[in-house]
Chain A
Amino acid sequence: MTTVLEALNQALHTAMQADERIYMLGEDLLDPYGGAFKVTRGLSSQFPDRVLTSPISEAGIVGAAGGMALRGLRPVVEIMFGDFTTLIADQLINSLTKFRWMYNDQVEVPLVVRTPMGGRRGYGPTHSQTLEKHFLGTPGLRVLAPCALGDPGKLLAQAIQEDHQPVLFIENKLLYLKKVNDPAILDDFTLTEISTAGSYAPSYRLPLHGAPPPQLTIACYGYMAGLALEAARRLAYEKEIFCELIVPTQLAPFELDPVVESAGRTGRLLAVEEGAAALGWGAEVIARTAEETGGSLKACRRLAAADLPVPASMPMENEILPDVNAIMQSAESMV
């Protein structure tokens, strides 16, 4: 069975094979090291002229990749840790996402910035964060987050080969070794892919099969989807609380319909994310769903990390990041 890491690595190989316009930029990409998390392993051996290993210049390489994209190439940048995306914020927000619109639709910037995000490895305050919320809502920026469902490799390949705008591709570190569509995890669920209007990035709906109608919708993405599936399974077996998951792979622009449809049926919405709680993704999901459902929700709640830096100490980190138990407790409190 393929892991998410293998799926992403294979997608990069296949894409670079298929399209000579694809260039890879990032720090420490060269084999045998092949990138800090090995997503780019093998690329520099197979495509030595199109893999540019770079100095520690996150803003510089994202800017350079943007210039390449502006002039006909399809570059992909790896930012070694998601925490370092703060360093590329100016390039993305003030330049690359603006060019198409501010130059009156005369240019395109087909650029993918991939980055490993998230905690639970004890890396501490500057190597464990979930920072994508700071980029959500930037006009002209598509933010994607694969999960261990569906086809994460295809999602990456489409972002690289088909998109016309900058994409920030958020890869949770703990996803890398997860198996894609692992039957041991999906056994109790029915997985349905829902296509997104105007995008290639799907959402997934996962009700429990053979269960009574769900009482609660859990919206989540990335690695949290796996934790939420485990929580939903245990809630069903241990508490007779039945949940349905909605898992988008596109965080921005946000695809509301699957959440609204599900929460409209269940009447309850729990939004779960690994980033810090305040003013985050969940807040937008709940606000938008509330607007659309016209006050018919019986309960809604956010579950996210505490509004603190991520500690290095594993027990402390476990305490501030949402886990399976926290999801179960939040769900229980709503029904």
Chain B
Amino acid sequence: MLYQIRRFEETVLGEFSSGVFSGTTHTYLGQEANAVGVLSNLNEGDIVFSNHRCHGHFLAYGGDMQALFAEMMGKPSGVGGGRGGSQHIHWKNFYSNGIQGSIAPVGVGAALAEKYQGSGAVTVIFLGDGTLGAGVLYEALNLASLWHAPVLFVLENNRIAQTTPLEMAVAGGIAERFRAFDIPTEELDSSDVLEILPAAQTAIAAVRKDQKPKALVLHTHRFGPHSKGDDTRPEEVVAEIKQQRDPVRIHAARLDGPARKKIESQVDGQTAAAFEAARQAPAYNGKGKV
């Protein structure tokens, strides 16, 4: 799955200049272990709210590569029929939107609805460090704590918001912001899925049992640009990050050569086939429901 997200996002960035995709995109390169580590713990019926950088979350949730490629191509076969595009995805219990922070209270409300209806579902809300600047997030944290919403907030701190580094955007601590609302918070600075997975497992189990919010702050790194070609970091800094914090390489090192090669070639083939199928799918013909 880590490698599948990697290949999907590399295909997106690689093919954008060919004109096959429209609009914009925000790739998840470098953060793959977060989505996989967290979402591998979900039960059927659990809910995920995501953000602009949602491809990795969607795929780790079980979303279909071809449907997401097609969505980004504006095709009727896309996951949202081409209406939403890269940032606005809904499938099963997965929802994403492109406005920073605005989905946080929606996620809290969804969690409360599940609690009131006794479904036992946990809601995971993915946030980024950039979102820490949005005021409505703190309204959502306050409500979640006051009303005991069964939510796990996952804050992925990739240390840069578009081009603005963390230290120019976030005063004080990150975990402290959650703790100020009496939301128990764990922190992890790792790109190893086998470290993130158990931490998330513990947190999600606690949310489910206590029916109260928790937070998980995952310090991570973004390998690619914010969107497309808008990376202002020096190349050597990005190269250093890739060298030291590559979730795919860290996990792949646990496999022997042939086993790794087998998975890689399998995923390469699946990704290429999904891309090609999406590309071949009929374009919007002006006759559907716009």
Contact = CB atoms under 8 A, between A and B. Distances in A.
A64 interface: yes
Contacts of B107: 67
Most buried by A among B103, B113, B289: B113
Most buried by B among A64, A101, A107: A64
B4 to A, nearest CB: 24
Most buried by B among A54, A66, A70, A90: A70
Contacts of A65: 109
A64 B80 contact: no
Interface stretch (B12-20, B140-148, B187-195, B278-286): B140-148
Interface in B136-160: 136, 139-140, 142-143, 146-147
B106 A64 contact: yes
A102 B105 contact: no
Interface string A39-75: 0000000000000101101011111111111111101
B104 to A, nearest CB: 7
A107 B109 contact: no
A82 to B, nearest CB: 20
Contact of B102 (A52, A63, A68): A63
A104 interface: yes
Contacts, number: 121
Contact of B143 (A64, A69, A75, A103): A64
Interface in B86-119: 88, 90, 95, 97, 99, 102-114, 116-117
Given A94-B97, A104-B84, A106-B90, A66 B142 contact: no
A96 B97 CA distance: 11
A95 interface: yes
Contact of B81 (A60, A99, A104): A104
B83 interface: yes
Contacts of B109: 63-71, 75
A103 B98 CA distance: 13
Give the bracket for the number of chain B residues in contact with chain A.
35 or more
Given A52-B147, A59-B139, A103-B80, A70 B104 contact: no
Contacts of A54: 143
A91 interface: yes
Nearest to A50: B116
Contacts of A94: 97, 99, 102
B99 A95 contact: yes
Contact of B108 (A67, A90, A104): A67
A55 B144 CA distance: 12
Given A61-B105, A107-B90, A90 B136 contact: yes
Given A60-B136, A63-B102, A96-B106, 11 more contacts: A55-B142, A57-B139, A64-B106, A68-B116, A71-B110, A71-B114, A91-B105, A95-B97, A95-B102, A104-B81, A104-B90
Interface of A: 23, 52, 54-55, 57, 59-73, 75, 90-91, 94-96, 98-99, 101-107
Interface of B: 47, 79-81, 83-84, 88, 90, 95, 97, 99, 102-114, 116-117, 135-136, 139-140, 142-143, 146-147, 289
